[in-house]
Structure 1
Amino acid sequence: MSHPPFSPAQARAARLRIGLTPEQVTAALAQLGVRRPVDAVTAWESGAVAPSEGELFALADALWCPVPTLMALRPRSLREHRLARGLSAERLALRIGMPVPDYVRTEADHRWSGTDVQTVLLADALGLEPDELVRVIGRAGELDGLLRQAVEGRWKQHTASLARLVDAPERGVARALRTLHQEYARFGERYRGHLVARSDDARLKEIATERAGWLRALPDRFLHLVGHGTGPPPS
């Protein structure tokens, strides 16, 4: 497995913030069961070598700082979220009830193949909100596809699938889909109204552009309506 994301500058800054020497960091690592020479600590800080996952977790403990600080990034992938929680692949696989080789393959292939139960356990283990979960396990395209089918056709038949996908109560999902279906239908009503009135092409294009923008924002709008949005609903 490749080395985890690591910022030498952040590691050095974290050490200096608590006033430790490289020798003291080495001693702290040894107390945590990770025995490395002083040269290893200085090599990490210089960027000559990157720590392994286990070394990263131990270094964060030794420096009294969160793992994401040493990663110097906002976790986006499944592996990055796992690392940010200080979990080994084996430990996370155990928590979600997935064979370790299957989980490791999931990270390597960037393709989530877990069951619904494993997906819920994954979200809990990594502290992921439903909208984050959808992005992390690569199902954003599935969400968008299901939502478009729902607003363009019979939304009720998609309620259960969408509720499972975003881990939300079916009643709340049904309310959201009803609202979205009505909003989408109004675009069609406006468009047909202007066709009957023989409005100019500019007005028809304007409505079509508005609808295209609404569809692009559809996943965020849906997540907001079911109570998983992180900000105001799209206009």
Structure 2
Amino acid sequence: MYSTPFSPREARAARARMGLTTSQVAQSMAACGVPVHPDLIAAWEQGSHLPSETHLFALADVLWCPATALMGIEPRTLAEHRLARQLSVERLADRIGMDPAAYRAAEAAHRWDGDIRQTRALVEALGLSLRRLVSIMGRDEELAGLLRTAIEGRWKAYVTPVAEIVVVDETSVGDALRTMHTEFAGFAERYMGHLMARNDDSRLKEVAAERSAFLHRLVDHFWELIGEVGDEPPPRGF
């Protein structure tokens, strides 16, 4: 059963910074259309109860702090990134053009199957990058494995599997894989060239080191070729 992340200590601190009593916070939340009893606010701060998403959003507004401050964590899951942006499932689903039930199922399963348009809308709404979304879904290692196999063999066979993970059009993925395959093959050509020319071992070690560095940055290089941008921090205040 999913529960809203919440830090009683941060909630108490945020209220103290505003110089408000629990009654004043309750009054302000009611003015926002979210009525709540002061005793419930006290229970949140004591850790005996957890606020709902609606309560969390309203409390963040009243205390003039980002939802992440009250959550007390850095967002790690799709649901937590949504909460950080103070978006309900229904509101986010409407924004990305997806049925709310389907989106809720994606959060619960920790697996994203949206199309390219929905995915672009999702990362924009949550201030993420496609790369970060892949990481949130726990598919980093799978992507790295496919990239390694693709550049070492027949890269065309891996265009579709990679595109399904990163949710980028197959033309862009194919261009990136072809470039990486060509670059990787260059190391073998240079190595054999030095070997046939009977150059000293330092030349061979140099090529081997460059090849190792290339493989180490394989995923980074892929996203660079795709032209992926970084994440955006959640807005501070709404």
* CA apart distance, 1:70: 1.1
Question: Does the CA contact (< 8 Å) of 2:163 and 2:169 recur in 1?
Answer: yes
**C-alpha distance in 1 between matches for 2:82 and 2:71:** 12
Residue 129 of structure 1 is matched in structure 2 by 129
**C-alpha distance in 1 between matches for 2:129 and 2:13:** 31
**C-alpha distance in 2 between matches for 1:26 and 1:177:** 56
**C-alpha distance in 1 between matches for 2:164 and 2:2:** 33
**How many residues end up aligned between the 2 structures?**
230
Residue 89 of structure 1 is matched in structure 2 by 89
* CA apart distance, 1:219: 1.0
Question: Does the CA contact (< 8 Å) of 2:115 and 2:167 recur in 1?
Answer: no
State the TM-score, normalizing by the size of structure 2.
Answer: 0.77
**C-alpha distance in 2 between matches for 1:187 and 1:229:** 28
**C-alpha distance in 1 between matches for 2:205 and 2:51:** 55
SS at match of 1:30: helix
Residues 99 and 170 from structure 1, CA distance in 2 versus in 1: closer, same or farther, beyond 3 angstroms?
closer
Uncovered stretches (5+) of structure 2, i.e. residues with no partner: 231-238
Q: Tell me: higher relative CO, structure 1 or 2? Use CA pairs within 8 A at least 6 residues apart.
A: 2
> After alignment, is 143-152 or 57-66 more displaced?
143-152
Instruction: Give the 5 Å matches for 1:1-235.
Output: 1-155=1-155, 166=166, 176-192=176-192, 197=198, 211-212=211-212, 214-228=214-228, 230=230
Residues 12 and 203 from structure 1, CA distance in 2 versus in 1: closer, same or farther, beyond 3 angstroms?
farther
**C-alpha distance in 2 between matches for 1:171 and 1:214:** 23
**C-alpha distance in 1 between matches for 2:46 and 2:173:** 51
* CA apart distance, 1:60: 0.5
SS at match of 1:14: helix
Q: Quote the RMSD (CA, aligned, Å).
A: 3.3
**C-alpha distance in 2 between matches for 1:104 and 1:172:** 29
State the TM-score, normalizing by the size of structure 1.
Answer: 0.78
**C-alpha distance in 1 between matches for 2:180 and 2:72:** 38
**C-alpha distance in 1 between matches for 2:172 and 2:93:** 31
* CA apart distance, 1:164: 7.4
Residues 174 and 101 from structure 1, CA distance in 2 versus in 1: closer, same or farther, beyond 3 angstroms?
closer
Question: Does the CA contact (< 8 Å) of 2:116 and 2:168 recur in 1?
Answer: no
